[in-house]
Amino acid sequence: MAANQFGKTWAGGAEDAIHATGRYPSWWKGRIFTKPTVGWVAGLTSEKTRDGPQRILLGRPNAIGTGMIPANAIKDRSPKRGVADAMDTIIIRHGGGGDVQDGESIRTFKSYDQGPESFTVETLDTVWLDEEPELEVYTEALTRTNTTNGMLWMTFTPLLGMSDVVCRYMLLAKDDPARHDRCVIQATIDDAEHYTAEQRAQIIASYPEHEKEARTKGVPIMGSGRVFPIDEARIKYRAFDIPSHWPRLAAMDIGWDHPTAVVWMAWDRDSDVVYVYDCYRVRETLIPIHAAAIKARGAWIPVAWPKDGENDTTQGPQTAGQYRDQGVNMRPEYAQFPETSDNKQTNAPTTRVSVEAGVQEMLTRFASVRLRVADHLNDWWDEYRMYHRKEGKIVKERDDLMAATRYGIMDLRYAITQPTTAKINPGRPVDWRSL
């Protein structure tokens, strides 16, 4: 899932050609089929399949054998009726020596406009889908590989946004057991080294604003549904040594079946810029383990936490109290905005913990570049890219680090600098709020 004109179709074609011929390079670390394979290659229409994946595999119509499949491996081919220069089926010589058996692989070219019913019945080793299909086509194609323990891969730019197909990959947490059989490889225009910096800038400028993220970074297009429509480049920063006089704060979102997530922030009060410099996201793990990870990053740093931390859970009474018992420097109260004349009404408790108010505060800081995030925090950026609305409401899926960041912004006034021993009176309990 990558930017336009990045080379993703070439990558998909190379994978298919290797499995079709059995000529695995010495450096190959991927899946190996020792027997000849039967596979499908499909695109949006027969014409697009011809101009895309067929061209990559075979070469152009007047130069068959110049594509990813060498000429000496193409044994036979049959044309598709009604579509000029399009192939229906090709027979490929298979055999690479060693454990790879000699024989004949088969590739059939198909198109999504034939409908889901045309993707039934057959049993396959491989399926390559170039451009994103509808869910019905995807599931039918995937089903063809069940009995063979085969594989399916797709190459596309996610212009359909958070579609059902994209969600089957992107909304799975990295530690979700359901994710063991799938992965997402993303690449941006900055990874395309065949473009100069000037060419990249020109290409980016040529796209409409709402398509830039998808076409240049392979991020599903969100349009008005995206919660934070801010260009990543504006708010990313390269990690640096944090000055000791900058106050720090951690903030957590508590979970079990969904991950427990924590972010660590440093606040440059002189310029009022908040830097998210570390994050942590782990699911189905006991509180002592989370607590150890939090303390390892600075046991003195106060931790903001959500209102539901006051609730009893399956892990025991009051979750926030359990973390406190483990030595985590939990804030005395759950995260909330400061009391003002505007929220001293009867709805004050709701107003002071409002999700929308927290999101708007984050958005305001992002827009003015007063909330920045380290570029190496991949888990955080994965959530940022997927954080979106549906029918006006924020989708509460894979948003744990976003929620933790929101709690941190709500409680930012409680950030502190690291205490020194000179400030501590051994004869009295330490009140971190006084330091």
Neighbouring CB atoms inside 10 A of 352's CB total 19
Mean local confidence (pLDDT), 342-359: 71
In 3-state terms, the chain is what percent helix, strand and coil (to 5)? 35, 20, 45
Residue 121 clears pLDDT 70, i.e. is over it: yes
Does residue 242 belong to any structural domain of this protein? Answer: yes
Predicted confidence at residue 426, as pLDDT, reads 43
Predicted confidence at residue 434, as pLDDT, reads 43
pLDDT-derived band at 193, boundaries 50, 70, 90: confident
Residue 347 clears pLDDT 80, i.e. is over it: no
Q: How many domains does the chain have?
A: 2
CB 204 within 8 A of CB 216: yes
pLDDT-derived band at 214, boundaries 50, 70, 90: confident
pLDDT-derived band at 345, boundaries 50, 70, 90: low
- Going by C-beta distance under 8 Å and a sequence separation of 6 or more, which residues neighbour residue 122? 38, 40, 144
Predicted confidence at residue 425, as pLDDT, reads 46
Instruction: Specify the pairing of strand 74-79 against strand 87-94.
Output: antiparallel
CB 345 within 8 A of CB 189: no
Question: Is 310 an active-site residue?
Answer: no
Q: Residues 242, 102: one domain?
A: no
More confident residue, 241 or 428: 241
Q: Residues 185, 266: one domain?
A: no
Predicted confidence at residue 23, as pLDDT, reads 96
Ranking 17-26, 84-93, 309-318 by mean pLDDT, the lowest is 309-318
Predicted confidence at residue 97, as pLDDT, reads 79
Mean local confidence (pLDDT), 399-413: 96
Residue 206 clears pLDDT 60, i.e. is over it: yes
d(CA 406, CA 366): 12
Q: Percentage of the chain surpassing pLDDT 90? A: 66
pLDDT-derived band at 390, boundaries 50, 70, 90: confident
Q: Percentage of the chain surpassing pLDDT 70? A: 89
Torsion angle of alpha carbons 358, 274, 435, 298, nearest 10°? 100
Q: Residues 240, 185: one domain?
A: no
Of 129, 163, 190, which residue sits at a domain end?
A: 190
Q: Residues 245, 182: one domain?
A: no
Predicted confidence at residue 422, as pLDDT, reads 46
Predicted confidence at residue 164, as pLDDT, reads 80
Ranking 24-28, 109-113, 302-306, 351-355 by mean pLDDT, the lowest is 351-355
Does residue 218 belong to any structural domain of this protein? Answer: no
Q: What is the CATH number of the domain that holds 378?
A: 3.30.420.280
Q: Residues 132, 265: one domain?
A: no
d(CA 373, CA 39): 43
pLDDT digits (tens, 9 = 90+) for 224-266: 567 887 888 899 999 999 999 999 999 999 998 889 999 999 9
d(CA 335, CA 302): 12
Residue 279: give the domain boundaries.
235-414
Mean local confidence (pLDDT), 390-398: 80
Residue 27 clears pLDDT 90, i.e. is over it: yes
Q: Residues 64, 174: one domain?
A: yes
Q: Residues 287, 379: one domain?
A: yes
pLDDT digits (tens, 9 = 90+) for 65-99: 999 999 999 999 999 999 999 999 999 999 977 88
Predicted confidence at residue 81, as pLDDT, reads 92
Q: Residues 242, 344: one domain?
A: yes
pLDDT-derived band at 207, boundaries 50, 70, 90: confident
d(CA 141, CA 132): 12
Chain-wide mean pLDDT for the chain? 88
Does residue 247 belong to any structural domain of this protein? Answer: yes
Predicted confidence at residue 435, as pLDDT, reads 43
pLDDT-derived band at 344, boundaries 50, 70, 90: low
Task: Name the DSSP letter for residue 420.
Answer: -
Residue 150 clears pLDDT 70, i.e. is over it: yes
Mean local confidence (pLDDT), 46-58: 97
Predicted confidence at residue 158, as pLDDT, reads 87
Which among 131, 140, 383, 397 is annotated as catalytic?
Answer: 131
Q: Residues 137, 23: one domain?
A: yes
Q: Residues 179, 274: one domain?
A: no
d(CA 31, CA 255): 35
Mean local confidence (pLDDT), 193-209: 88
More confident residue, 163 or 423: 163
